[in-house]
Amino acid sequence: MSSSYRDLFVSASDGLKLYARDYGLLSGAALPVVCLPGLARNSEDFHELALALSTDAFRPRRVLAVDYRGRGRSAWTSDWRQYDLGTELGDILQVLTVAGIEKAVFVGTSRGGLLTMALNVAKPGLIAGAVLNDVGPVIESEGLIRIRNYVGKLPMPATLLEGAQILKQVSGPQFPAFGPEQWEAMARGTWHEESGRLVLSYDPNLMKPLQELDLTKPMPDLWQLFEGLASVPVLAIRGELSDLLSNKTLFAMQQRHPHLTALTVPGQGHAPLMEGAVLHAISNLIVKVETSL
């Protein structure tokens, strides 16, 4: 338990324990924000964003940051085949039901963006606005291959500082603009302390669904899912060096969505951190959403 957020534990439909960080006021006029992380990431990635939004002097709001099953403080499943978008979609809907959130702005990084698009179909009216952080309707195989090469395969560090160095060695070309603080932030979302030592903050079996993919073939496009967001404001963020969301796809998203704002983050790849210009752009998107309601 942190002084800045409440711990929310929810039972999934199969009884698995799910977790979310719950920041800010439980009620109020401001629209809540729901944060959905990347494949092997968790609620830690949204801490600075959630703090900024939940403690805003003029319009504080509730922010819910979700840990998918097998990540963060949610329980691991005994069947790795449950690490799929359909199961995770059901889990998120369960968390939202328990939290009493019926409409929100969704901030989805990578896999979280895919789930945001799917939620819009599963529960019409739920999505008031969306932030798609370095993900779109076309997913580049190059990025998936790179991710598959390290998920569940990282050496175990003795300290977070050592963990930051490991991540820099693995992902340095994606983030040449990162300094020590950014690498340490990435490490805090990758490992956590348990019984006096660092342990991985996700189930290594997450790599198994990736191994099942035939990445020699193009991934199916998701344009129909993306176009379902046409009626709500969308902020699409791309890391300048991203190998998962191409500049070509980002441009096509702008052409197809009448209310889309695009932001390219220099010096970062997949996926940009929630800091600086990204935080500012997300705040502006939320204002735009509330103005449009």
Quick: pLDDT tens for 218-255.
888 899 999 999 999 999 999 999 999 999 999 999 99
**Mean pLDDT within 143-161:** 94
pLDDT for 254: 97
Distances, alpha carbon 41 to alpha carbons 17, 152, 192, 290, in Å: 17, 12, 12, 28
Instruction: Please tell me the distance from the alpha carbon of residue 195 to that of residue 198, in angstroms, as a whole number.
Output: 8
Structure tokens at 24: 């800010």
pLDDT over 70 (residue 180): yes
Quick: pLDDT tens for 245-284.
999 999 999 999 988 999 999 999 999 999 999 999 999 9
Quick: pLDDT tens for 60-112.
999 999 999 999 999 999 999 999 999 999 999 999 999 999 999 999 999 99
Burial 24-62 (b: 16+ CB within 10 A, else e): beeeeebbbbbbbbbbbbbbbbbbbbbebbbeeeeeebb
104-109 and 33-36 as β-strands: parallel, antiparallel, unpaired?
A: parallel
**Domain 6-142+221-287 belongs to what topology?**
Rossmann fold (3.40.50)
Q: Of the candidates 142, 152, 144, 141, which has an alpha carbon nearest to the alpha carbon of residue 206?
A: 152
